[in-house]
Structure 1
Amino acid sequence: MSFLDSMHTVGSALTAERFRMDTILQNMTNAKTTRTANGEPYRRKQVVFQERAFDFQSALDSASAKVENAGVRVTEIVESDRDFVPVFDPTHPDANEDGYVMYPNVNMTEERVDLMAAANAYDANFTALQIVKTLALKALEIGK
């Protein structure tokens, strides 16, 4: 595995975690959205990651093997199937005949925790990228 392959692998994690943070922020932004294009309240979204296929044995067997597929990728965004949150507010334009407004199934505490976890994962991957970069620069100095 070359330094560039390592950077590509870590870069895929940075991209995936950034996408995860963006999705969490979208959830937080829409926590009070009672009506979307389909007429329902906003539904919480979650990002699903998948490991990029990499056969380590093949890489060992072949000196020319590329690790370009190693890393992680976003495979889908799934909407939560949790129930919406009913709040009694008969004056709200989206209130039903009983006076309840259905609010999104977004739990702000859960979103904050997920955002902190995503930010920590992003930070850890950024640190790994810095280490790979430092190692590459040190390797260039070996011949001097």
Structure 2
Amino acid sequence: MTEFSNSLSVSSSGLRAQATRLRHLSENISNADTPGYRRKTIAFETAFGAGDAVTPVRTGRVTLDQSDLERVYDPTHPLADESGHFEGSNVDLLIELADAREAQRSYEANLKMFEQTRKMSTGLMDLLRR
């Protein structure tokens, strides 16, 4: 039974990690037009346990993308400098949507693995009851 619990642990850690990733991606998308906003990125790490053969995944620190902010020309904007420019965000919606699709597919794959493990466990219990 430990293999079933290990499998459930790994897939649930993947679900949590991808859900966190999707949350940060949605924050990036919603702040794409916010002046001075820097894109958030998150890394995944392996969560090592003491003597565990199974290594679930966890999210690492959230980092801000240090690429240059977009320079926007709008002399009527309240944040515009004397040349009429202000710093926009460094969020690229195309990249964010592609990352969101990847995170969604990874989430779905982890969910399928979780469901399959649950079905196998239920099938084993049914066999043992006979």
TM class by shorter chain equals over 0.9
Write the deviation string for residues 27-77 of structure 1: whole angstroms up to 9, x where unpaired: 00011111xxxxxx111000110011258xx567xxxxxx5xx21001111
Q: Paired residue for 1:51?
A: 46
Q: What SS does the aligned partner of 2:77 have?
A: coil
Q: What SS does the aligned partner of 2:32 have?
A: coil
Aligned pair in 2 of structure 1 residues 97, 51: CA closer, same or farther (>3 Å)? same
Q: Percent identity?
A: 28
TM-score by length of 2: 0.92
Residue type of the alignment partner of 2:9: H
TM-score by length of 1: 0.84
Q: Paired residue for 2:90?
A: 105
1:27-66 residue pairs with structure 2 within 5 A? 27-34=28-35, 41-53=36-48
1:75-90 residue pairs with structure 2 within 5 A? 75-90=60-75
Let me know the Cα RMSD of the aligned residues.
1.5
Q: Paired residue for 1:16?
A: 17
Q: What is the number of equivalent residue pairs in this alignment?
A: 128
Write the deviation string for residues 77-119 of structure 1: whole angstroms up to 9, x where unpaired: 1100100001110000111111012111000000000000000
Q: Paired residue for 2:3?
A: 2
Q: What SS does the aligned partner of 2:83 have?
A: coil
Q: What SS does the aligned partner of 1:109 have?
A: helix
In the alignment, the residues of structure 2 paired with residue 9 and residue 50 of structure 1 have an alpha-carbon distance, to the nearest angstrom, of 13
- Deviating beyond 4 angstroms after TM superposition, the runs of 4 or more aligned structure 1 residues are none
- Normalized per residue, which structure has more helix? 2
In the alignment, the residues of structure 1 paired with residue 100 and residue 81 of structure 2 have an alpha-carbon distance, to the nearest angstrom, of 33
Matched, 1:137 2:122: yes
In the alignment, the residues of structure 2 paired with residue 54 and residue 106 of structure 1 have an alpha-carbon distance, to the nearest angstrom, of 36
Q: What SS does the aligned partner of 1:49 have?
A: strand
Unaligned residue ranges in structure 1 (runs of 5+): 35-40, 61-66
Unaligned residue ranges in structure 2 (runs of 5+): none
Residue type of the alignment partner of 2:87: M
